[in-house]
Amino acid sequence: MVLFPNAKVNIGLYIVNRRNDGFHDIETVFYPVQSLTDILEIVPAKDSEHELTFTQTGITVDGPWESNLCVKAYHLLKEHTRLPHVRIHLHKQIPMGAGLGGGSADGAFALKALNQLAANPVSHQQLLEIALKLGSDCPFFIENKPTFATGRGEVMQPIELDLSHYHVVLVNPQIHVNTGKAYSQSIPKPATTTLMQLSVQSIDTWKESVFNDFETVVFPLHPEVEAIKTELYRLGAVYAAMSGSGSTVFGIFKELPHTLNFNQDYFVHIG
């Protein structure tokens, strides 16, 4: 089977508490970006002596293949049910370390696909619990709908938020931001906006009321990321913000500008 794990953006992200387990409690809205995807192929391999064969093309992923979340998804799910031998191929198109959740999407989509191949598929709730072991964003990609999330991101409530009448422009300066380091430098504080209300709040008010706490950490370290946000507003975005811990900045436009002034060193996606 062939799947298309999609990116996400965070519309608002508040770091509200540093937990005793080393993680942080957040409040955010995850919004899926269906127009930007990786490509994931998973097929049974009855003739293979190896239980799992993994290959990867596209954007180069650093580190051993065993650390890929698709591979980890296989081994985690195998603890709960019998899986066939499989071949997994991942074609990577979503930038990494970019705040777009590409790796989390790959792992979550692999979990869902592998569960379909399992001898005794686990329940949806079990799948969410296994996804959380992969990463804090992974449960969202099991649902893959606009979601208000708290806790580590795993306590989810669906919201009615539809941006299909807008254009979403993603700009990534190809700076890798270490999420753990960004969290360690953050200062948790109560959320300033009730993000559950986004669906009934005019998008024209978001600029003054919806914020990403990671911007206060990343912008001083990487002024070029802040410059992207400034440029998107100059081009006419009704809302612009960094997604996740960066370094991608997204702009929401009612009408696309005639030109996007970003050179070839930037990754630019229009959805």
Residue 144, SS3 per DSSP: coil
Residue 62: count other Cβ atoms within 10 Å of its Cβ: 8
Catalytic residues: 8, 137
CATH number belonging to domain 167-270: 3.30.70.890
CA–CA separation, 28 vs 50, rounded Å? 41
Domain layout of the chain by residue ranges: 2-158, 167-270
Residue 60's pLDDT is what?
A: 87
Give φ, ψ of 40 to 5 degrees: -125, 125
What CATH class is the domain 2-158?
alpha beta
Residue 193's pLDDT is what?
A: 83
Task: Check residue 63 and give left, alpha or beta (phi > 0: left; psi -120 to 50: alpha).
Answer: left
Give, in degrees to the nearest 5, the angle at Cα 95 between 170 and 180: 100
DSSP 163-202: -TTSEEEEEE-S----HHHHHHT------SS-GGGGGGS-
Tens digit of pLDDT at every position of the chain (271 positions): 999 999 999 999 999 998 888 788 999 999 999 999 999 999 999 877 789 999 999 998 888 989 999 999 999 999 999 999 999 999 999 998 899 999 999 999 999 999 999 999 999 999 999 999 999 899 999 999 999 999 988 899 999 999 999 999 999 999 888 888 888 888 899 888 889 888 788 999 999 999 999 999 999 999 999 999 999 999 999 999 999 998 999 999 999 988 888 888 899 999 8
- CA-based diameter of the chain, in Å? 59
Residue 260's pLDDT is what?
A: 86
